[in-house]
Amino acid sequence: MKFNLLNILFAIGLISFISFSCNDEHDNSPGSVVLEFDHRWGTQELKLNSSLLTPAGDSVKFTAFRYFISNISFLKADGSEYKVPNSYFLVDHELDKSREITLTNIPADDYRAVQFIIGVDSAKSTTALDQRTGVLDPATGAQGMYWAWNSGYIFIKVEGESPSAPIDSITLKRRFWYHIGGFGGYSSPTINNIKSVSAVSDDDVAHVNGSAEPTFHMIVDLQEFFMNPTNLSIKQNPVVMFAPYSTTIANNYTDMIKLDHIHQ
C-alpha cells in the first residue's frame, strides 16, 4: 500500500511538472522584459568620486552621470519589430533603480535584439508641455536635464572634477561638465545629437511570455564618451553644452552602450 501511494505521488508530481513545462512553452500571453544598464569605466565598475584616467591623460573624478533612453523596440529573428509605446526613461548612476528598466505587456515571442535612442526624439521635444509627464516633465522628473533657455532636453550629462579643468568661480573647484543635447531644431535646422543604438545578440534569445521575464544586460562604458573616434581633452574642452563640439562628443558616445548577454 505504501509502495502504491509513493508511485501515485510520484506520478502526480511528474504530470504536474510536464504540465507546467508545456504551459510555459506554449504561453502566448504578454510578458515583461528588463533592460539592465551596467555602468563601467573600461573593464572596471564605474564609481563616482573615484580617481580615473581618461584616454587623453586627464585625471578625473566623476560626480554625475545621467542619460535619457527612449523609443525602445525589440527585434525578432525574422527582422520584424515591436515598438514599445511611450518609452522614455532617465538613467541616473546615483539611482540604482533607474538602471533597471522593466517593460511590461511585451507580446510573447523570441527576441534577439533591442533598439533605442540616447536622447529624446524631436516629436516629443516639441510637443505641448502638458503632454510631457514623468521623467519628461521639465519641472520635476527632468529637472536638471532640461535647458529652459533652449527649450530642449539634455540627452546626457557628465560632470566631475579634474586638475586639467579651470577653477569654477562658484565652487572654487576645478570642475568640468558636458551637457549634450540638441534634437535638430524646430523651425530651422540646429545641432542634432540624437544617437541610435542597436544591440544584437548572435547567441542568446529572449523568450518573452507571461511566465518569463528575460533581461537584456547592457554594458555602458563611460570611457567611450572620452574616446573613439576622438580623444576628448578636458584641458582643451572643459565645458561643452549646446556648441558645435558637442557633435564630436555625441559621435563618441554612439557606441557607449552594448549588449553583453541576455539571461532568462
Please tell me the predicted confidence (pLDDT) of residue 29. 95
pLDDT tens-digit series, residues 29-87: 999 999 999 999 999 999 999 999 999 999 999 999 999 999 999 999 788 999 999 99
CB 102 within 8 A of CB 148: no
Q: Residues 195, 197, 202, CA angle at the centre, nearest 5°?
A: 160
Q: Is the pLDDT of residue 207 over 90?
A: yes
Expressed as residue numbers, the domain containing 234 is: 29-263
Does residue 7 sit within a domain? no
Four-residue CA torsion sign, 49, 53, 55, 57: positive
Euclidean distance between CA atoms 175 and 83, whole angstroms:
40
**Number of domains the chain contains:** 1
Please tell me the predicted confidence (pLDDT) of residue 14. 43
Which residue intervals of the chain are DSSP H helices?
2-25, 122-126, 246-253
Does residue 19 sit within a domain? no
SS3 248: helix
Q: Which amino acid is located at 246 in the chain? A: S
pTM over 0.75: yes
Euclidean distance between CA atoms 263 and 44, whole angstroms:
21
Four-residue CA torsion sign, 124, 128, 129, 131: negative
Please tell me the predicted confidence (pLDDT) of residue 189. 86
Does residue 128 sit within a domain? yes
pLDDT band, very low/low/confident/very high, at 4 (cuts 50, 70, 90): low
SS3 160: strand
pLDDT band, very low/low/confident/very high, at 163 (cuts 50, 70, 90): very high
Find, among 258, 261, 241, the residue nearest to 249 by Cα: 241
CB 253 within 8 A of CB 245: no
Q: For cell 502566448, name the residue.
A: 28
Q: Residues 84, 87, 93, CA angle at the centre, nearest 5°?
A: 130
Phi/psi at 137 (5° precision)? -75, 110
Euclidean distance between CA atoms 223 and 145, whole angstroms:
21
Q: Which residues are paired to 114 by β-bridges?
A: 74, 199
Does residue 123 sit within a domain? yes
Does residue 17 sit within a domain? no
Does residue 175 sit within a domain? yes
Half-sphere exposure of 57 (CA within 13 A, CB side): 2
Q: Which amino acid is located at 181 in the chain? A: G
Does residue 110 sit within a domain? yes
Does residue 6 sit within a domain? no
pLDDT band, very low/low/confident/very high, at 24 (cuts 50, 70, 90): low
